[in-house]
Structure 1
Amino acid sequence: MSQPLDNTFLRTTSRSNSRPSPPSQSQSVQRRITGSPLSTSDFCTLASSRQTSQPYSGQNLSHKLDYPIDSSKGVCNTMAGILSNDAYNALGQYPGKRRQIPFRLFLRLAVIFTAVCTLGYFGVGFLRSSSLSNESAISRAESMDPRLLSEHCDIPHPGRPLIQYVLMIDAGSTGSRIHVYKFNYCKTNPELEDEVFKQLEPGLSSFKDNVDGAAHSLDGLMEVAMRSVPESMHKCTPIAVKATAGLRMLGSEKSNYILNAVERHLREDYPFKLIPRSPVEIMDGKDEGIYAWITVNYLLGTLGDSEHNTAATFDLGGGSTQIVFEPRFELWDKKTGGPKMAPGEHRYEMTYGGQEYTLYQHSYLGYGLMEARKSIKTLIAQELFNAGKFSVDHPCFPPGFHEDVTVGDSKTQITLKGISKEGLKGQSASDACYKQVRKIFNKNAPCLSTPCTFDGVYQPSLAQTFAQNPFYIFSYFYDRTYPLGVRDEFSLNDFKTLTDKVCNYNMGLFAKEEQDEIFAENHYCLDLSYQYALLVDGVGMNESRTVRSTRKIKDAETGWCLGASLAILSENNYCK
């Protein structure tokens, strides 16, 4: 009998159960198989035609595969190869060497073979199907505009869209600003997810004789809206324009012409949905303050809190300033509950998150920073005119400052100039300026309902009804303190120290960029003196009181715009 050479050997199959004669060409089927296991038919033929007296141990079922399986057919062929090769080893590699394979073992091998083939067929098909399904889902997700998705959930609250955009334009006295808010409805109430902000100058009130120019001055802001909101949501994205004190001061006729031109331009030239009620309007000062209060407390998460640990807000704009807080009269006198809030327009009641709020609010028209500047300069000029003087070196202004102010109807020009350190002759410019700005508050006005702040305006005492809760001041308060290194939280004593440094021209106490800021804005001494007086002498805050000044809370702009946008969403459903 010849020995196999390399991987070449002879296999002989026979259907006889008796010992055969030496194999011959006529009595056996000879096959040359090189480097591969037996086929399925070989295995079946061998298993049915050869028997052995020695039981099969099954050791060769651990046969190792050296090539990949890429289909169900490959699985079946591979298993057939394993089983047939093992069977061949059990039957014997050489013709004429008789061995027996038990029928029970053969049946077991056949069952294993059938099961593996079946699992391979369906398993590979399932994996292929799952792979295609996953690839399709990934492809769809990648092609989905991320502006239409939420970072917090995939399924919205019933009856609500997953995403809702709101466009709010703040037409202020010194410029116009757009807020593009992205909300999700993962829960019952809208949750702010993102905000895009842009501002442009000048404001609408600068176009009092050019209404079309006023309308088109917003185009730069609308370009931001067109880029930020997905096209598929343009028609269900509400937009509103709310003008504040600057436009209010133009008078009803001129301001209405401008408002009508703006509304017509937005309706005809842009795809967004103007809100149903007063889409372009001059906002009431009361609403401006309330919306700012809602914004801050919404971002702080204090709305709906049963403890009512809400924050106060004091928004200093260019033309007006608004204060809003929730007086806690029960803290005044725990036995009697203290006095109640006096009736009047200052009282504002609202409900949010199952909690009822009674707020105090007031908007001081004409006491915004830009209007206060005018009032202070006019008062200085009038005092000089009454004294028969036409020029003054004043401590509220820095060296090199020069401005002519007209007094009354006389058209007389009074020149205001800055004062040098030498001209101060040892006196404090800060104290002198502070003394001057306090005069515009009209503290002697009749007070019909006590206690009053200034101009005869009723206000509950902050010291007695709001001593502990946070107090947020922003807008121009922030713009004048942050560039000079005052951050986030500080006391009014710190505010006074900063004012002294600026007004007394102690420039060595400031960094180079802070010095540049002070020289670039030559009203810093006047502005800081007015702001300090407004807080202490105006609304009656204690000098040791800590305030917080910020432009953003949780990456969202403070101010009234977010609160107004939440009010819009509470009134109507826009995207379905």
Structure 2
Amino acid sequence: MDLKSPSKLKLSPPRFSKHKWILNLIIIVVTFVISIGAILAYKSRVSNAPKELYYTVVVDCGSTGTRIDIYEWKWRVKSGNDLPVLLRSYPDKSTKSPLRKKSCSYHCMQTQPGLDKFVGNISGVRFSLNPLIDWAEQEIPVEKHSLTPIFVLSTAGLRRLAHEDANQVLEDIEAVIKEHSFMYRKSWIRVLSGIEEAYYGWVALNYKMGSFRNGSRLGTLGILDLGGSSLQVVMESDFKREEMQFMRSKVGSFEHQVLAFSWEAFGLNEAFDRTLLLLNQTQVLGESNTTTVELGHPCLSSSFMQKYTCYNCSSHDNLGQKKFSNQNSKTAFPFYLVGNPNWEQCKRIARAVAINSSTLAWSEPIEATKCLATPLFSNGGNNAVVTIPTTRFHALSGFFAVYQSLNLSTRANWTNIWERGLELCSASEADMMRSISANQSSLWQYCFQLPYMASLIEDALCLGDKEVIFGPPDVSWTLGAALIEGEYLWSSSSTTTTAENHNSTLGNIEPVYVFLLLLCLLLVVYYNQIKLPMLGRKSAGAGSSLPSYALPKHRPN
């Protein structure tokens, strides 16, 4: 019998091959369903689980002291324009620390005096910064320290120093920051311009009040921010301007046209110093003055008698006008202040420094004229007045601190304010102490601060017809600085986080889904594999891949 070669043999198909396509289809469908379930489970897990937290630390080196704020954030994994979610800011009402000052209404963790008093004195800089940064290191988890940026930003205190002196203080600050565990760059330790400080305050307020939320184009709020040395005003404007105060800003999904103003020497402390110069018009203060001048002040109570050193008087002339020079003198002028209470005179001198008046007739009666121009907003010598489109302003920092201390409503009208001033400054010192909920050591300042703030808003800024709300108390320009200076953290977080999530998807899918997916893939491979023939072995059954055969035995010749 002729033997057929193996290649000519017809192979009988395996029994299961008739239904093989049905089986494969079932496996593919099951695999697809499991994959979809795994993806949906992963997406649900990512959307519902808390996003990765991060922190920023901002140190505010102001004219009256050094303060610190910690911000705890959560990323939004949606789009690159989404602002992060602020979970918590420190310090808050629950913070317990000897650095928390009772007199501090809007910044609670503070060391005094300001760093501008420590030129060439690194020990003083270290003494001011170390307690604040040590506290921040205790509040933030240790494993986050190396990833947490610290921004040390100086304001009016260092702005008024000579350039060389300011740089010396900044170098000393950097040396102290190096001794701690937070992440920093040299560019994060600097002096803010007045416009930057004002802009950061505007960002902080509108972020806090929800004006930057995606999907809404709400009108933004204006801000009035009063510090110890300077005054800032920021608002959004629809008018295109080419002035240095105008800037384009994109925060969140929308672009804003912002007008930002900053005026040195209009803060509460420097404004009071300028009243001393107006009261002392008959004596010109030279570069050095060792003679103590006695002054009767109409905004102080009759029992007030105290030595007072004016550190800002050398930067003004004897009429209280700001001197502009490359070198700011640090000469201190001693006064002996005596209370000579007179409410009408107090209102007049407060108004004079508010509108930056140099007239010798400041003590004459004030004409009841309507504010028709904005002296502080005037554009140089051409007296072009800035249009104020914003109808709602929030008065923060010094404005709010005084309002809170005097137990005024956040929406008190100007009639209420002036009546409260008359009541307060006509009372005895004992009655004043009972009616003011603030640090009693600052009691003597309020009779000047109240009419000064009212004159700033009504006479200098001409915002008497606008809605002015005092507060909220927990808004500071440091929040805006944390957002803008730390933009690299959140603006790229969506892209970075998404990429990281894609790279680690398998690690986040539930293990049971991974197991089932691999099992289905194994079944597909198993039922589609080709079984090779095994020569010399009998068929295992009808389902064998190839029939077996035996070679005939040859007889020996």
Structure 1 residues without counterparts, runs of 5 or longer = 1-151, 157-161, 329-339, 445-449
Counterparts of 1:420-435 in structure 2, within 5 Å, are 420=341, 424=342, 428-435=344-351
Please, which of 202, 213, 217 is the counterpart of residue 293 of structure 1?
202
Query: Does structure 1 residue 347 correspond to structure 2 residue 246?
Result: yes
Q: Partners of 1:460 and 1:472 in 2: how far apart? A: 25
Q: Helix, strand or coil for the counterpart of 2:427?
A: coil
Distance 1:167 1:456 in 2: 37
The superposition leaves residues 190-218 of structure 1 with CA deviations (integer Å, 9 ceiling, x where unpaired) of 11001112222222122234123213311
Q: Which position in structure 2 is the counterpart of 1:189?
A: 83
Aligned-residue CA RMSD (Å): 3.6
1:377 aligns with 2:276: yes
Distance 2:84 2:248 in 1: 21
Match of 2:173 among 240, 262, 267: 262
Residue 212 and residue 523 in structure 1: after superposition, are their counterparts in 2 closer, same or farther (change >3 A)? same
Change (3 A) 1:236 1:506: same
Q: Which runs of 5+ in 2 are unaligned?
A: 1-46, 92-108, 286-292, 319-331, 361-371, 498-557
Mapping 1:510-529, distance limit 5 Å:
512=434, 514=436, 520-529=442-451
Given residue 318 of structure 1, which amino acid in structure 2 is its aligned partner?
A: G
CA 1:432–1:352: 2 relative to 1, 3 Å: closer
State the TM-score, normalized to the length of structure 2. Answer: 0.62
Aligned identity (percent) is: 24
* CA deviation string 1:324-353 (max 9, x = no partner): 01135xxxxxxxxxxx34421110111233
Q: Which residue of 1 aligns with 2:511?
A: none
Aligned in 2, Cα 1:512/1:463: closer, same or farther, shift over 3 Å? Answer: farther
Secondary structure at 2:281 match in 1: helix
Report the secondary structure of 1:440's partner residue: coil
Shift of 1:236: 0.6
Name the CA distance, whole Å, in 2 between partners of 1:231 and 1:261: 25
Change in CA separation of 1:460 and 1:303 when aligned onto 2, cut-off 3 Å: farther
CA distance in 1, matches of 2:340, 2:149: 52
The partner residue of 2:61 within 171, 174, 182 is 171
Which letter does structure 1 place at the counterpart of 2:470? Answer: S
Aligned twin of 2:356: 440
1:301-330 superposed Cα distances (whole Å, 9 cap, x missing partner): 0115644421111110111111001135xx
TM-score (norm 1): 0.60
State the alpha-carbon separation in 2 of the partners of residues 354 and 502 from structure 1: 47
1:302 is aligned to 211
Aligned equivalents of 2:74, 2:359: Cα separation in 1: 47
| Equivalent-residue separation in structure 2 for 1:166 and 1:438 (angstroms) | 36
Count of residue correspondences = 390
CA distance in structure 1 between the partners assigned to 2:226 and 2:333 by the alignment: 31
Partner of 2:479: 562
Equivalent position amino acid for 2:49 in 1? D
1:240 partnered with 2:151: yes
What are the superposed Cα offsets for residues 362-393 of structure 1, whole Å, 9 maximum, x if unpaired?
Answer: 1101211111111121121124679xxx7553
Question: What aligned pairs does 1:32-51 form with structure 2 within 5 A after superposition?
Answer: none
Moved more, 286-295 or 198-207: 198-207
Secondary structure of 2:237's partner? Answer: coil
Q: Partners in 2 of 1:391 and 1:212 — Cα distance?
A: 35
Which residue of structure 1 lines up, in the alignment, with residue 234 of structure 2? 324
526-535 vs 516-525, which moves further: 516-525
Closer/same/farther in 2, CA of residues 200 and 249 from structure 1, 3 Å limit:
same
Q: CA deviation at 1:516?
A: 7.6
Displacement, 1:564?
0.8
Partner of 2:163: 252
- Highest CA radius of gyration, 1 or 2? 1
Please state if 1:396 is matched with 2:306: no
CA 1:457 to 1:507, structure 2 compared with 1: closer, same or farther past 3 Å? farther
Give the counterpart letter for 1:326 in structure 2.
E
> Aligned partners of 1:203 and 1:196: how far apart in 2?
21
Structure possessing the higher relative contact order (Cα contacts under 8 Å, 6 or more residues apart): 2
CA positional deviation for 1:431 = 3.7
The answer (yes or no) to whether the contact 2:351–2:452 under 8 Å persists in 1 is no
Provide the rounded CA distance (Å) in 1 between the counterparts of 2:435 and 2:160.
Answer: 36
CA contact (8 A) 1:242 1:283 kept: yes
With over 3 angstroms needed to count, the CA separation of the structure-2 counterparts of 1:401 and 1:264, relative to structure 1, is same
Deviation at 1:511, TM superposition (A): 7.4
Deviating more after overlay: 456-465 vs 223-232: 456-465
